[in-house]
Each structure stands twice: as structure tokens, then as C-alpha cells.
Amino acid sequence: MAGVNRPLRVLVVDDDALVRAGLSMMLDGIHGIAVVGEAADGDEVLAAADAHAPDVVLMDLRMPRVDGITATRRLRSRRNPPEVIMLTTFDTDENIVYALRAGASGFLLKDTPPAQIVEAVRKVAAGDPILSPRITRRLMDRTATQAGAYQRARAALATLSPRENEVVLAVAHGRANAEIAAELFMSVATVKAHVSNVLGKLGLDNRTQIALLAHDAGLT
């Protein structure tokens, strides 16, 4: 983190030279911020961090040799690492979650207004994570959707008998009818009957849907 007598040190990582130049010019013109280095790919990040000791790294997500998520994970696993803001044009749910799990403190889209990028640099350097409003909404929607699926799956499984739930779990683990019969000490015909009952009670069409329901309920 920057001290009181020196500017925030920023490293810009992007495989597009024009993007690097644009970010560097924009940030270098801001009081209290200095772009101390650039890197063109994720495989250059560790060496650049060693050479320039940045407080914040602006990291591109998609790069040809080592992607930003991998580079972030490597960087954040070191002692006293800089904060990382992921900058990308790709805002899929998976990218957001993977970036945050890798240790990124921020996730912004490349069309984020310059003033918001500057604000993000200052906030993450101060220890405050930052997400663009659009990404925050996507994560909220994702969480709500997952929570709803979990609740519906749990409610559906609650309508089954304890034995039927055992069969559901075995099906979710990929067991064949003969394996389920041996595991649960019942005949294959009884297993088939339980599977049919589960499908009928829950309005499902096949064993794959049983497995997906068990996954949504957090059983696998």
C-alpha cells in the first residue's frame, strides 16, 4: 500500500498495446497515482511486480499465454501481494466468480468510465473491494437464482420417503440399479420401483434430472 508521501503505484497488464497505453496515459495524469510499469501477458506479471512493486495491478482477463485469473492467483499467493482489479469485456458469471476466488479485489468492465477506474484504484489500495454496478447486479441475481433452486430442490425432496431419498442420493452418485440394490440391501426390482416412484412424485423424466435435483439441493 502506498505511503503518505508517495503516489499509488499501478502496474497495467493487457495484451493490447493500445489499451495499455490508454490506461497508462489516463492514470498517469491523476494526482496521487503513478503507472510504474506495464506487462503484455500474464506470464510477465510476477517479474513485473518484482521489478516495480506496485500497490495495484490492473489485470486483463483474456491473454494469449497466461490468462488474468491464473496470473492473479499466482500473484496473490505471494507474500504481501498487490491488490488486483480485473478489467475485461467479458462479464460472464463464471469469470466474475473465478476472478474473485483467485484473489481479485475488483472486477470492472473495460467500458467503465475513467473516473470510476480511478476511484476503484484508490479504493482497492485502501482495502475496499470494488465491483461495477452491472456486475454487482449479476452476482445478486446469480445468488438469488441459486438460492431459489436450492429451496425448490429441498422442498421437492422433502416429499419423498427416507428410503426414496437414499435412492436419490445413490442415483446422483452415478450408481446403477444393481449397485444401489447391493448398497441399500434391497432387490433390483425394489430399486426400480423406488426410482419410478421418485420420477412420478417429482414430475421428472429421467435419472439425470434426479441427479440435477440432488445437486441443486446441495447433496452432491
pLDDT along the chain (220 residues), means of 10: 75 95 92 95 96 96 93 92 88 71 84 90 85 64 67 91 94 86 94 93 83 82
Q: In this structure, which topology does domain 8-131 adopt according to CATH?
A: Rossmann fold (3.40.50)
- What integer pLDDT is reported at residue 186 of this predicted model? 94
- What integer pLDDT is reported at residue 144 of this predicted model? 58
- What integer pLDDT is reported at residue 134 of this predicted model? 66
- What integer pLDDT is reported at residue 107 of this predicted model? 84
- What integer pLDDT is reported at residue 207 of this predicted model? 82
- What integer pLDDT is reported at residue 149 of this predicted model? 78
> Mind spelling out the 3-state secondary structure of the chain?
CCCCCCCEEEEEECCCHHHHHHHHHHHHCCCCEEEEEEECCHHHHHHHHHHHCCCEEEEECCCCCCCHHHHHHHHHCCCCCCEEEEEECCCCHHHHHHHHHHCCCEEEECCCCHHHHHHHHHHHHCCCCEECHHHHHHHHHHHHHHHHHHHHHHHHHCCCCHHHHHHHHHHHCCCCHHHHHHHHCCCHHHHHHHHHHHHHHHCCCCHHHHHHHHHHCCCC
- What integer pLDDT is reported at residue 172 of this predicted model? 85
End-to-end CA separation in angstroms for the chain? 41
CATH class of 150-216: mainly alpha
This prediction's pTM: 0.63
**CB atoms closer than 10 angstroms to residue 50:** 9
Where are the chain's structural domains? 8-131, 150-216
- Same CATH topology for 8-131 and 150-216: the answer is no
